[in-house]
């Protein structure tokens, strides 16, 4: 590591003010940032911890029955407390290992937008709303490519609001060493249609698989997407799998998610 200043504000307003300083970096659960600092891939002069802000903690029911999760809520607490949205609770309970789940936060994961992270698929699949200290951002407008989001400099996620669907399921094909998603698919059915979000597969990051959504609008039946897969040209190729392999997995995991949701 290297020398840096550390602040732990107790309010959102104080955190926003601290982040206005040049070269200040927000620190949530630290599951990505701390390893990045150790490898000297980033070297902010000041870390602003968000873990001491009560306003960022907890789970409650909001307007229209939405499940409102504070950005500082850990994966373990989401797994234990998101019973109103079982697919989301199950997703959170299968992130990393117990050490990661006890420290990592939903807000940190969504803000980081790792292309293989699980939460972005849940947020996009459910059509959630990302609430910040300044505004509300629809999931379809939030994610903007690998590690990129609509967040402005100094903007902090305060809450993620999930509408409760009729049925939903998340299926993840894990990379065994990291437990990140080689391919993860979150399928959600609402009264007005089906949403399918895919993580881990695309060079553009998390995305909605519109062709599958259109096919499933005729019913939540895995047979309706039998043999379907997205365009392999847009998929990641690395040592864990080729683009064609990932495209095939997207189809397989989507069918599994649809079958499990029923």
CATH of the domain at 234: 3.30.390.50
pLDDT along the chain (262 residues), means of 10: 86 95 88 84 87 96 94 98 98 95 97 96 98 98 96 96 98 91 97 97 96 96 97 94 97 98 92
pLDDT at 120: 98
Structural domain includes residue 252: yes
Give 244's Cβ-side CA count (13 Å radius): 0
pLDDT at 35: 83
Structure-token match 């299926």, residue found: 171
Last residue of one domain, picked from the residues 143, 162, 181: 162
Domains held by the chain: number: 2
Closest to 202 (Cα-Cα) out of 237, 155, 251: 237
Structure tokens at 93: 């309970």
CATH number of the domain enclosing 118 = 3.30.465.10
Structural domain includes residue 86: yes
Residues 146, 61 within the same domain: yes
Residues 156, 178 within the same domain: no
Structural domain includes residue 142: yes
pLDDT at 1: 61
pLDDT at 201: 97
Residues 141, 70 within the same domain: yes
Structural domain includes residue 39: no
Structural domain includes residue 106: yes
Instruction: Quote the CA–CA distance of 86 and 64 in Å, as a whole number.
Output: 18
Structural domain includes residue 6: no
pLDDT at 163: 98
pLDDT tens profile 130-156: 999 999 999 999 999 999 999 999 899
Residues 82, 150 within the same domain: yes
Residues 207, 253 within the same domain: yes
Closest to 49 (Cα-Cα) out of 24, 26, 82: 26
Domain assignment of residue 68, given as a range:
56-162
Structural domain includes residue 11: no
pLDDT at 34: 83
Residues 142, 173 within the same domain: no
Structural domain includes residue 14: no
What's the Rg (C-alpha) of the chain?
18
Closest to 86 (Cα-Cα) out of 140, 166, 160: 166
Give 54's Cβ-side CA count (13 Å radius): 0
């Amino acid at each position: 590591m290297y020398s840096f200043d550390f602040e732990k504000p107790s309010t959102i307003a104080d955190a926003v003010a601290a982040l206005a300083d040049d070269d200040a970096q927000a620190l949530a659960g630290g599951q990505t940032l701390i390893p990045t600092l150790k490898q000297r891939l980033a070297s902010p002069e000041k870390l602003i911890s968000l873990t001491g802000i009560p306003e960022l903690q907890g789970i409650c029911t909001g307007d229209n029955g939405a499940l409102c999760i504070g950005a500082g809520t850990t994966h373990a607490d989401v797994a234990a407390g998101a019973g109103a949205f079982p697919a989301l609770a199950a997703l959170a309970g299968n992130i990393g290992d117990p050490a990661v789940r006890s420290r990592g936060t939903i807000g940190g994961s969504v803000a980081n937008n790792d292309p293989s992270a699980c939460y972005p698929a849940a947020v996009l699949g459910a059509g959630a709303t990302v609430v910040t200290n300044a505004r509300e951002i629809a999931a379809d407008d939030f994610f903007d490519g690998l590690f990129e989001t609509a967040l402005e400099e100094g903007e902090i996620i305060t809450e993620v609001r999930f509408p409760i669907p009729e049925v939903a399921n998340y299926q993840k094909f894990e990379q065994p060493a990291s437990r990140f998603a080689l391919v993860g698919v979150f399928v959600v059915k609402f009264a007005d249609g089906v949403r399918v979000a895919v993580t881990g597969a695309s060079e553009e990051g998390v995305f909605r698989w519109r062709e599958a959504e259109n096919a499933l609008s005729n019913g939540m039946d895995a047979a309706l997407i039998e043999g379907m897969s997205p365009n392999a040209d847009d998929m990641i190729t690395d040592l864990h799998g080729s683009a064609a392999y990932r495209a095939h997995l997207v189809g397989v995991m989507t069918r599994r998610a649809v079958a499990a949701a029923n």
